[in-house]
C-alpha cells in the first residue's frame, strides 16, 4: 500500500461517529437457537461460583456433576435443534449475523459435545494414581500455583487438594469450540478462538506428574498460540480493509462483486485483492495452526506430550473438530469465489502435512508424541477432503472428524491406563509385550491403531475412503496418491506398535495396567463402539453428514 | 413329481454324509461306516430311478436339467449351480454310485480295525459328492468345483495313513502333479470365457462353429493337459503309482474305477470342441497310445501287486484316451471301455485287497504263491476280472478293447497303422503282465514269509462284506461288455450325446480281432514260460536294462527330478536372489531412506519455541508469497 490514508478520511472516522445517536436498537438474540452454547458457558460460569462458594470436600462431585449435566443438556439441545429442522430447512444466521445455525454447525457442535462429555469422564477419573495420604487423586496438580516439588505442593497434596477448576475451564473451552465453527463474522471467530484457547493453555499446565514438562508445554503452547492469534487478528484487519466489514456474507459479496459501493473511509483499500489474499492467508494460517498442519504443527508433539493425557485427548479431538469446522465455513462461505487462488496453496499444505506427519512419526519413541504426529498426518488427510470443494467434501470431512475424535480420545484414554512408578509409562519400549500381560487393553489399543491406520471394518477406513473419494472426485487425484502413500508410511508405525505389544517379550520391570473406574471404561467403550459401528455400518452416518453438509450464507 | 428335481439329491446325499461324518465327532464312530454306506446306496437308488426315467423317454429327449441357484450373479459373468443329466452323465452316475456303494460295503470289512474308520467313510462320501458334481455340472466352472473336490478327496485318502511318511509324500505328490493339470483346466475355462463369454456347456458347444481353429486347439490342448493330470497320462503320470499308498478300497474306487477316468469324461464331454481341433485330437490320441504302452511296460516289471495294477490302470486309461482322441469314431467306445474297466479293475483291486488282507498286508508278489487253494472266492473273482481285462473272447474287456483297436485302425493313413499296431501290441503286453500277476499270486509254490513282527501269514477268505462286492463286480466283468455290445445297445444309448460315425478300417474287423486274440495268447504264453513253468525267485533277478528302467517307472521320477525339481530349484533360488537383492533392496532402501529422512526432520523439532516461531513465520511468508504468486500467474 503505497499511500497513507488521507487526512480527511481519517478525520471522517471521528466526525461520522459524532452524529447524535437517536436510538440504540436492542440486539435480537435467538436464545433458543444458541442454547447449546449458552448452557455450556452458563455452566462454566456456575462452575466458577462453585469454586468460590462450595466447600472443598464436595467440589469435585459438584463440578463433575455440573459438567456432565451441562454437556448432556447441551447435546440434547443440539439434537432438538436438528430435529426442529435448523440443520436443513430452517438454517439461518442468528444473533445479528454473528452466528450461523445450520447443518455443519449443529453436526460439529454435537460432535464436540459428545467428545467433550467422554473427555470429562477422563478428567474425573480418580482411580488410576495410587491414593496420596488417603485421598483419591486425579490427573491434575494438587495446587497449580505451587512450585513443583516445593513445600507448598507437598502440603497441598497432604491436605488432599485437587484442581477442580479443570471442569469449568474445560466447559469454557467447549463453549468456545461450539462457537468457533458456527461463527459467521471474523470478530466472533476470533473471540471464540481465544475463548477456547486460553483455558486449554491453562489445562496443559496442570499435570500432576512431570509438572515441569507440563508447564513447559503450556508456555510453548501459549506463546505460539499468541503468535498465531496475532497473525489471525492481522489477517482480520486486512480483510476488513478489503471489504469494509467483518461479516462473512458481506466479504463474500465483495469477493464475488455483488457489493461495489465503497465505504469512503476505506476508499484506498476496499477491493484491493492483495489485502484479500494476504488477509485470507493469515486468517487461514491461524486455523491451520489450530488443526496442526505443517509448517504450523511444531507445537503439537511437545504439547501433546506435556499436557495431562486427558487434556491431550480432549484437545486433540475438540480443537481439530472446531478448527476444521471454522476452516470449512471460511473456505466454503467466504471465499469460494477465489478458490483458484487458495487451492494450490492448500494442496501443498495438505501434501507436506500428510507426508511430514507420517514420516516423522516413524522415529518417535514416545507413544504420546507418536499420536501427536499421527494427528498431524490425519490433519493432512482431512485437508484433502476440505480442498475438494464439493458437498461430498464437506460431508466426508464431517464424518472423518467424528471418526477421528473418538478414536483419538479412546487411544489417549488407554494411554492413561498403562503406568509404572513414574506415572504413565509413555515410552514405547515399556509397551513391549503388553498384549501378553493385558490382552484386553492391548487388543482395544490395537483396534484404535488399526482405525488410525485406516484398516477396513474400522471407522478410520470409512472416513479415509470418504475423504479420498471426495478429493478424487473434486479433481485432486495426485493428492489422493500422496494420501495413500502417506497412509502406507503411517501404517508402518501403527502396526509396529501392535507388533511390539503382541510379539515382543514383556520386560521384567514393565508397566502395570491400572484398573480404571467406570468413567474411563465408558470413555474407552464409547471409543471402541464408535470405531466399530462407523467401520461396519458407515452409511447411516455418511447420510447424516451429507444431510448436514450445507452451509447457510 | 418331476424327476429332474432328484438330480441335486444325488449329490446331496453323500455330501450330507461327509458333513455329518466329518463334523459329527467320536459319537458317530460306531455307526459312521453304516451311515456312509447307506447314503452311497441312497444315491445309487436315486440314480436307478433316474435311469429308468431316462430309458422311458425318446432317445433325443433324454436330457434333464435342474437349476439350483445362481452362484455368481454378476453382469457379464453368470455362473449357475445347475445340473445336466444326459446319457453320458447317467452312465457315469450309475458307475460312480454303483461301484462306489460296493466299495463302501467292502470297506466296512477292510477298515474294520482302523480307529479312524468314520473319517475314512466321511472322505469316501466327500469323494462321491465331488465326483457326482463333476459329471452332473452343466457348465465348466461347476465341473471345476467337482474336479478340485475329487482332487481333495484323493489327496486326503492317499494320505489317509498319514503316520507313514511314504503315504504323506505320495499324497503330496499326487496333489502337486494334479495342480499342473488343474492349471490346464482353469486356463481352458478362462480361454472359453474370453472367447464365448460363457462357460456353460450348451452355449459353448453351440458357438464352436463360429470360432477359429486356433482358439479351439488352444482350448483342446489345455483340456488335454487337465485330463493328463487327473487321468495319470504321460507326461503327468508319475503320481498314480505312489497313490497306491492309500487304503486298497481307495485304490479301487478312486484310482482305478472312477476319478482317474474323469479326464476321459472331460474329453468326451468336450467332444464338440475337439472335433473342431484336429491337432488337439491327434495329440490326445498320441498321449493315449504312449501311455498305454508306458503303463503296460511298467506293469510288467512291478513286484508290488498294487503298483502292477496301477501300471495296468494307466495303460487301460491310455486305451480310453486313445479312443477319445479318435473323435466321434471312438467316443462311445472310450466310455464303454471306461465302464467295463470300472468293473474289472475295481474287481482286481478288491481282489488284491483281499489277498493283502489275508497275507498280513504283504504286497510283494514274490512272497505270495499258491493262494488259489486258500482263497477260492477271491481266486475265482480275480480270474474272471483277469480274463476280462486281457480281452478273453466273450468277456467284457474283449468287446470294449476290440472296438477301440478297430477304431484306431480306422483312423487311416500312417497314423492309423501306428496307433492300431500300438493298441494290438499293448493287448499282448497286457496279457503278459496280467498273467504274471495271476501266476505269481495264485499258482506255484508258497513263498510266504513272516511279517516284521514274526507273524506267519494264515491266508483265509475275507468276510462276506468284502466278498459280496467282489462277486458283484465279477458278474459285471463277465457280462457288461456283451450286454453293451449286443445290438449296439451302448452305442445307441450314448450316440445322441457324443455323436458317432462308423469307422472303416483298412483291414477287415475279423483280421483285427484274430490278430488281437493271437497277441493275447502270445502274451499269456510268454508269461507262462517265464513264471508258470519256472519257479519264481524270491529276490528279483537283475533283469535287462528295460526291466530295470521299468521297475523305476521308466525313470519318470528321475526325469522329473532332473528337469523339473532341479530346474525349479534353480529358478526359485534365482528368484529368491532377485527378491533379496533387487526387490528387498528397493523396499528396504525406501524404508531406510524414509527412516533417515524421518530422523533428520525430527531434529527440526528441537524443543525451542523460538525456532518453532521461526518455522511458523517462514511458513506464513511462503504461503502469502505463494498465494500472491498464484494470482500473478
Phi/psi of residue A66, nearest 5 degrees:
-60, -45
Hey, which residues does A420 pair with through a beta bridge? A423
Contacts (Cβ under 8 Å, ≥6 apart) of A464 = A381, A400, A454, A483, A487
Cα B357 to Cα B360: distance, rounded to the nearest angstrom: 6
Asked whether the predicted pLDDT for residue B204 surpasses 60, the reply is yes
Q: Is B545 on the interface with A (CB under 8 A)?
A: no
Taking alpha carbons only, the member of A281, A291, A288, A187 closest to residue A235 is: A281
**Stretch A378-398: mean pLDDT:** 93
Cβ–Cβ under 8 Å, residues B253 and B127: yes
Mean pLDDT of chain A: 91
Nearest CA in chain B to A286: B620
Residues 6+ apart with CB under 8 A from B624: A277, A278, A281, A282
- Per the CB < 8 Å rule, is B624 touching A356? no
Residue scoring higher pLDDT (A47 or A269): A47
Q: Is the pLDDT of residue A19 over 70?
A: no
Contact A363 B607 (CB under 8 A): no
| Helix residue ranges per DSSP H, A330-438 | 339-361, 367-387, 391-417, 434-437
Substitution target in A227, A295, A297, A383 with the highest count of B β-carbons within 10 Å is: A295
Written as one string, the DSSP assignment of A276-298 is HHHHHHHHHHHHHHHHT-TTS-T
Give the mean model confidence (pLDDT) for residues A1-27: 57
Q: What is the mean pLDDT of residues A67-76?
A: 97
Q: Which residues of A347-370 are buried (b: 16+ CB within 10 A; e: fewer)?
A: bebbbbbbbbbbbbbbbbeebbbb
Q: Is A279 on the interface with B (CB under 8 A)?
A: no
Q: Please give the residue that has the higher pLDDT: either B63 or A176.
A: A176
Cis peptide before A114 (omega within 30 of 0): no
Scored b (16 or more CB within 10 A) or e, A320-338 reads bbbbbbbbbbbbbbbbeeb
- Select from A166, A203, A450, A164 the least CA-distant residue to A315: A203
Q: Is the pLDDT of residue B351 over 80?
A: yes
CA B377, CA B295: separation in Å to the nearest integer? 28
How far is the CA of B94 from the CAs of A518, B89, B132, in angstroms?
68, 9, 10
pLDDT (mean) for B259-277: 94
pLDDT in tens, B398-428: 999 999 999 999 888 888 999 999 999 999 9
Q: Does the N-terminal peptide bond of residue B235 adopt cis geometry, omega within 30 degrees of 0?
A: yes
Using CB atoms within 10 A of its CB, is residue B426 exposed (0-12), middle (13-18) or buried (19+)?
buried
Query: If you average pLDDT over residues B233-247, what whole number do you get?
Result: 91
* Better pLDDT: A271 or A256: A256
Q: How far is CA B20 from the centre of its chain?
A: 26
- Taking residues B618-629, report their average pLDDT: 92
Question: What percent of chain B is modeled with pLDDT above 70?
Answer: 100
Share of chain A above pLDDT 70, in %: 96
Asked whether the beta carbons of A458 and A487 are under 8 A apart, the reply is no
In angstroms, rounded to a whole number, what is the distance separating the alpha carbons of residues A49 and A531?
A: 38
Burial A1-37 (b: 16+ CB within 10 A, else e): eeeeeeeeeeeeeeeeeeeeeeeeeeeeeeeebbbbb
pLDDT single digits (tens) A282-318 = 999 999 999 999 999 999 999 999 999 999 999 999 9
Query: For residue B85, what are the β-bridge partners?
Result: B64
Mutation site for A-interface testing, chosen from B591, B616, B631 by largest number of A Cβ within 10 Å:
B616
Please, are residues A369 and A306 in contact by the beta-carbon 8 Å criterion? no
Note the helical H segments in B232-304.
239-242, 248-252, 262-269, 271-275, 278-301
**pLDDT value of residue B176:** 92
Spatial separation of the C-alpha atoms in residues A48 and B287, rounded to whole Å:
95
Tell me whether A360 touches chain B (CB under 8 Å).
yes
pLDDT tens digits for range A319-357: 999 999 999 999 999 988 788 888 889 999 999 999 999
Please check whether residue A361 is in contact with residue A373, taking contact to mean a CB–CB distance below 8 angstroms. Answer: yes
Is A489 or B456 the better-scoring residue by pLDDT?
A489
Q: Chain B contact for A289, CB < 8 A?
A: yes
Tell me what the mean pLDDT of segment A64-85 comes to.
Answer: 96
Cβ contacts (< 8 Å) between B626 and chain A: which residues?
344-345, 348
Tell me, what's the pLDDT at B553? 83
pLDDT band at residue A102 using 50, 70 and 90 as cut-offs: very high
pLDDT the model gives residue A129: 87
Q: Which of B347, B338, B332 is nearest to B317 (CA)?
A: B338
Closest residue on chain B to A370 (Cα): B602
Residues of chain A found within 8 Å of residue B609, distances taken between Cβ atoms: 219-220, 223-224
pLDDT at A17 over 60: no
CA distance A227 to chain B (A): 8
A259 torsion bin: left (phi>0), alpha (psi -120 to 50), beta (else): beta
Q: Which of A263-277, B97-111, B345-359 has the lowest mean pLDDT?
A: A263-277
CB-based contact, B601 to chain A, within 8 Å: yes
Q: Best of B587, B593, B619 to disrupt the A interface by mutation (most A CBs within 10 Å)?
A: B619
Checking if the pLDDT of A18 tops 70, the result is no
Look at residue A12 and tell me whether its pLDDT is greater than 80.
no
The answer to whether A137 touches A208, Cβ cutoff 8 Å, is: yes
Neighbouring residues of B74: CB distance < 8 A, sequence distance ≥ 6? none
Radius of gyration (Cα) for chain A, nearest Å? Answer: 24
Interacting residues of B377 by C-beta distance below 8 A, sequence separation 6+ = B461, B462, B467, B470, B471
Q: Given A289, A489, A492, which is nearest B616 (Cβ)?
A: A289
Least confident of A19-23, A119-123, B237-241: A19-23
* CA distance linking residue A275 with residue B257, whole number of Å: 91
Give the Cα separation of A325 and B413 in Å (integer).
Answer: 87
Spatial neighbors of B251 by CB under 8 A, at least 6 apart, are B243, B244, B306, B309, B310, B349, B353
How far from chain centre, in Å, is Cα B199? 22
Match 529358478 to its residue by C-alpha cell.
Answer: B571
Contact: A280, B627; criterion CB under 8 Å? yes
Residue A1 pLDDT: 41
Beta bridge partners of A185: A247
pLDDT tens digits along B21-39:
999 888 888 888 999 999 9
Enumerate residues 6+ apart whose C-beta is below 8 A from A306: A204, A207, A210, A213, A214, A215, A216, A217, A218, A220
- B77: which strand partners? B74
Residue A3: per-residue pLDDT:
46
**pLDDT of B1:** 52
Amino acid at each position: 500500500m503505497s499511500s497513507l490514508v488521507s487526512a480527511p478520511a481519517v478525520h471522517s472516522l471521528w466526525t461520522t461517529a459524532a452524529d447524535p445517536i437517536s436510538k440504540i436498537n436492542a440486539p435480537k438474540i435467538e436464545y433458543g437457537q444458541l442454547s447449546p452454547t449458552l448452557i455450556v458457558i452458563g455452566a462454566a460460569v456456575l462452575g466458577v461460583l462453585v469454586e468460590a462458594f462450595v466447600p472443598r470436600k464436595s467440589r469435585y462431585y459438584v463440578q463433575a456433576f455440573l459438567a456432565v449435566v451441562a454437556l448432556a443438556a447441551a447435546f440434547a439441545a443440539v439434537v432438538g435443534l436438528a430435529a426442529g429442522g435448523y440443520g436443513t430447512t430452517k438454517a439461518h444466521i442468528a444473533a445479528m449475523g454473528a452466528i450461523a445455525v445450520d447443518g455443519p454447525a449443529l453436526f460439529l457442535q454435537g460432535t464436540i459435545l459428545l467428545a467433550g462429555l467422554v473427555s470429562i469422564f477422563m478428567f474425573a477419573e480418580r482411580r488410576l494414581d495410587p491414593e496420596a495420604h488417603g485421598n483419591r487423586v486425579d490427573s491434575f496438580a494438587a495446587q497449580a500455583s505451587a512450585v513443583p516439588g516445593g513445600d507448598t505442593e507437598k502440603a497441598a497434596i497432604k491436605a488432599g487438594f485437587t484442581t477442580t477448576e479443570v471442569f469449568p475451564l474445560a466447559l469454557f473451552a467447549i463453549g468456545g469450540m461450539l462457537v468457533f465453527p458456527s461463527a459467521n463474522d471474523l470478530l466472533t471467530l476470533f473471540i471464540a478462538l481465544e475463548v477456547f484457547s486460553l483455558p486449554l493453555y491453562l489445562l496443559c499446565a496442570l499435570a500432576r506428574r512431570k509438572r515441569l514438562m507440563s508447564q513447559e508445554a503450556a508456555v510453548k503452547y501459549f506463546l505460539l498460540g499468541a503468535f498465531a492469534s496475532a497473525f489471525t487478528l492481522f489477517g482480520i484487519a486486512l480483510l476488513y480493509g478489503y471489504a469494509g466489514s467483518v461479516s462473512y456474507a458481506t466479504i463474500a459479496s465483495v469477493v464475488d462483486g455483488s457489493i461495489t459501493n465503497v465505504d469512503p473511509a476505506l476508499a484506498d483499500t476496499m477491493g484491493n485483492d492483495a489485502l484479500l489474499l494476504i488477509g485470507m492467508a493469515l486468517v487461514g494460517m491461524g486455523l491451520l495452526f489450530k488443526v496442526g498442519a505443517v509448517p504450523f504443527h511444531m507445537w503439537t508433539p511437545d504439547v501433546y506430550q506435556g499436557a495431562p493425557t486427558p487434556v491431550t485427548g480432549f484437545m486433540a479431538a475438540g480443537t481439530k473438530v472446531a478448527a476444521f469446522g471454522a476452516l470449512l465455513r471460511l473456505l466454503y462461505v467466504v471465499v469460494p469465489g477465489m478458490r483458484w487462488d487458495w487451492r494450490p496453496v492448500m494442496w501443498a499444505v495438505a501434501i507436506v502435512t500428510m507426508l511430514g506427519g507420517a514420516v516423522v512419526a516413524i522415529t518417535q519413541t514416545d507413544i504420546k508424541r507418536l499420536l501427536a504426529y499421527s494427528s498431524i498426518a490425519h490433519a493432512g488427510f482431512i485437508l484433502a477432503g476440505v480442498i475438494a470443494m464439493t458437498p461430498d467434501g464437506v460431508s466426508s470431512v464431517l464424518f472423518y472428524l467424528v471418526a477421528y475424535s473418538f478414536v483419538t480420545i479412546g487411544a489417549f484414554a488407554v494411554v492413561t491406563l498403562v503406568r509404572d512408578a513414574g506415572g504413565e509409562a509413555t515410552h514405547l519400549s515399556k509397551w513391549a509385550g503388553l498384549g501378553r500381560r493385558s490382552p484386553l487393553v492391548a487388543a482395544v489399543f490395537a483396534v484404535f491403531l488399526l482405525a488410525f491406520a485406516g484398516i477396513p471394518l474400522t471407522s478410520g477406513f470409512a472416513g479415509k475412503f470418504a475423504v479420498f473419494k471426495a478429493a478424487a472426485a473434486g479433481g485432486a487425484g495426485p493428492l489422493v496418491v500422496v494420501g495413500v502413500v502417506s497412509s502406507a508410511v503411517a501404517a508402518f508405525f501403527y502396526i509396529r506398535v501392535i507388533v511390539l505389544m503382541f510379539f515382543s517379550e514383556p520386560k521384567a520391570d514393565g508397566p502395570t495396567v491400572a484398573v480404571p473406574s467406570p468413567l474411563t471404561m465408558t470413555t474407552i467403550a464409547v471409543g471402541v463402539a464408535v470405531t466399530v459401528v462407523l467401520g461396519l455400518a458407515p452409511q447411516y452416518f455418511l447420510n447424516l453428514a451429507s444431510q448436514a453438509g450445507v452451509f447457510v450464507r | 413329481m418331476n424327476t429332474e428335481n432328484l438330480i441335486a439329491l444325488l449329490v446331496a446325499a453323500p455330501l450330507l454324509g461327509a458333513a455329518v461324518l466329518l463334523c459329527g465327532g467320536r459319537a458317530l464312530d460306531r455307526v459312521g461306516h453304516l451311515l456312509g454306506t447307506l447314503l452311497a446306496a441312497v444315491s445309487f437308488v436315486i440314480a436307478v430311478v433316474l435311469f429308468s426315467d431316462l430309458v422311458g423317454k425318446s432317445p433325443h429327449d433324454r436330457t434333464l436339467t435342474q437349476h439350483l441357484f445362481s452362484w455368481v450373479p454378476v453382469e457379464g459373468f453368470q455362473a449357475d449351480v445347475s445340473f445336466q443329466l444326459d446319457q453320458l452323465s447317467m452312465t457315469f452316475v450309475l458307475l460312480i454310485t454303483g461301484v462306489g456303494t460296493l466299495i463302501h460295503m467292502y470297506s466296512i470289512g477292510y477298515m474294520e480295525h482302523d480307529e479312524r474308520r468314520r473319517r475314512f467313510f466321511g472322505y469316501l462320501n466327500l469323494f462321491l459328492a465331488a465326483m457326482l458334481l463333476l459329471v452332473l455340472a452343466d457348465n465348466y466352472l461347476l465341473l471345476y468345483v467337482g474336479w478340485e473336490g475329487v482332487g481333495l478327496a484323493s489327496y486326503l485318502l492317499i494320505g489317509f495313513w498319514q503316520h507313514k511318511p511314504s503315504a504323506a509324500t505320495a499324497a503330496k505328490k499326487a496333489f502337486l502333479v494334479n495342480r499342473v493339470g488343474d492349471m490346464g483346466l482353469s486356463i481352458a475355462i478362462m480361454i472359453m470365457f474370453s472367447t464365448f463369454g460363457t462357460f456353460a456347456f450348451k452355449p459353448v458347444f453351440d458357438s464352436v462353429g463360429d470360432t477359429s481353429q486356433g482358439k479351439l486347439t488352444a482350448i483342446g490342448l489345455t483340456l488335454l493337459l487337465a485330463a493328463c493330470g487327473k487321468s495319470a497320462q504321460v507326461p503327468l503320470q508319475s503320481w498314480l503309482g505312489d497313490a497306491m499308498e492309500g487304503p486298497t478300497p481307495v485304490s479301487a474306487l478312486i484310482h482305478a474305477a472312477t476319478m482317474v477316468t474323469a479326464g476321459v469324461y472331460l474329453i468326451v464331454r468336450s467332444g464338440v470342441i475337439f472335433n473342431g481341433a484336429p491337432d488337439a485330437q491327434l495329440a490326445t490320441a498320441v498321449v493315449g497310445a504312449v501311455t498305454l504302452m508306458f503303463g503296460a511296460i511298467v506293469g510288467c516289471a512291478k513286484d508290488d501287486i498294487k503298483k502292477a495294477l496301477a501300471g495296468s490302470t494307466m495303460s487301460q486309461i491310455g486305451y480310453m484316451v486313445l479312443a477319445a482322441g479318435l473323435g466321434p469314431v471312438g467316443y462311445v467306445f472310450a466310455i464303454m471301455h471306461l465302464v467295463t474297466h470300472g468293473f474289472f479293475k475295481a474287481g482286481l483291486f478288491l481282489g488284491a485287497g483281499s489277498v493283502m488282507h489275508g497275507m498280513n498286508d504283504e504286497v510283494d508278489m514274490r512272497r505270495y504263491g499258491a493262494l488259489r487253494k486258500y482263497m477260492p472266492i477271491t481266486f475265482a473273482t480275480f480270474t474272471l476280472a483277469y480274463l476280462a481285462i486281457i480281452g478273453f473272447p466273450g468277456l467284457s474287456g474283449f468287446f470294449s478293447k476290440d472296438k477301440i483297436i478297430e477304431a484306431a485302425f480306422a483312423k487311416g493313413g500312417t497314423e492309423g497303422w501306428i496307433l492300431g499296431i500300438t493298441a494290438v501290441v499293448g493287448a499282448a503286453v497286457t496279457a503278459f503282465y496280467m498273467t504274471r500277476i495271476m501266476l505269481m499270486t495264485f499258482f506255484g509254490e508258497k513263498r510266504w514269509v513272516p511279517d516284521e513282527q514274526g507273524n506267519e501269514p494264515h491266508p483265509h477268505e475275507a468276510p462276506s462284506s468284502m466278498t459280496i462286492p467282489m462277486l458283484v463286480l465279477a458278474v459285471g466283468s463277465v457280462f457288461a461288455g456283451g450286454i453293451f455290445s449286443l445290438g449296439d445297445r451302448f452305442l445307441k444309448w450314448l450316440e445322441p450325446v457324443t455323436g458317432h460315425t462308423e469307422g472303416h478300417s483298412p483291414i477287415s474287423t475279423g483280421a483285427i480281432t484274430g490278430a488281437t486274440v493271437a497277441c493275447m495268447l502270445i502274451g499269456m504264453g510268454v508269461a507262462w514260460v517265464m513264471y508258470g513253468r519256472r519257479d519264481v525267485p524270491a529276490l528279483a533277478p537283475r533283469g535287462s536294462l528295460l526291466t530295470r528302467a521299468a521297475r523305476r517307472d521308466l525313470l519318470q521320477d528321475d526325469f522329473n527330478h532332473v528337469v523339473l525339481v532341479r530346474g525349479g530349484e534353480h529358478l526359485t533360488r534365482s528368484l529368491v536372489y532377485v527378491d533379496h537383492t533387487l526387490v528387498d533392496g528397493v523396499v528396504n532402501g525406501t524404508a531406510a531412506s524414509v527412516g533417515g529422512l524421518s530422523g533428520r526432520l525430527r531434529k527440526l523439532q528441537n524443543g525451542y519455541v523460538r525456532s518453532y516461531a521461526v518455522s511458523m513465520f517462514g511458513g506464513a511468508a511462503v504461503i502469502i508469497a505463494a498465494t500472491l504468486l498464484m494470482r500473478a500467474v
